[in-house]
Amino acid sequence: MLAGAALLISLLSTILCSVSVAAISSDDGSYELSNGNCTAPEPRDLVHMEHVQKVAIPFVTREERVTWYGDEKIYCVLVTSCNGETHSKVKLLRGGAGHTFVDLEVHSSRGYGFAYNVRIFGKE
């Protein structure tokens, strides 16, 4: 029952998340990330999409690493917050726009969780 509710919440937040419009200042180490030319990414160029979520645990820092390797050359990486929570940071570690791979990390402040949508746009 609890697992079902958690799944439903996760599904809902994925849906809510994917409709959020990208208007992020391009920066790394910010709570959201926009890397490359994300002014008008084409939906058909979406090569990877992933929802990353961690619940808050008191006094604990939550982390998640996202890595993607593909054949397409990336021109835009968008990591958007699902809930506007600003107590986490997204950092581009390697790759991104101009590469065929990306390696990034999300980490929260102590006692906070996060919910992000990661979208990667690329072309052959």
Ligand X SMILES: *[C@@H]1O[C@H](CO)[C@@H](O)[C@H](O)[C@H]1NC(C)=O
Q: Which positions lie near ligand X, rule CB under 6 A?
A: 37, 39-40
Joined tokens for residue 64: 């998640």
Torsion angles phi and psi, residue 16, rounded to 5: -60, -40
**Closer residue to ligand X (CB): 4 or 39:** 39
DSSP 76-123: EEEEEESS---SEEEEEEEE-TTSSEEEEEEEEPTT--EEEEEEEEEE
Q: Cα(121)–Cα(47) distance, rounded to whole angstroms?
A: 6
Smallest separation, CB 42 to ligand X (Å): 7
**Closer residue to ligand X (CB): 19 or 40:** 40
Q: Which residue is nearest to ligand X (CB)?
A: 37
Check if the beta carbon of residue 73 is closer than 8 Å to that of residue 97.
no
Smallest separation, CB 88 to ligand X (Å): 27
Smallest separation, CB 37 to ligand X (Å): 4
Check if the beta carbon of residue 65 is closer than 8 Å to that of residue 103.
yes
**Closer residue to ligand X (CB): 45 or 105:** 45
Smallest separation, CB 32 to ligand X (Å): 19
**Closer residue to ligand X (CB): 34 or 88:** 34
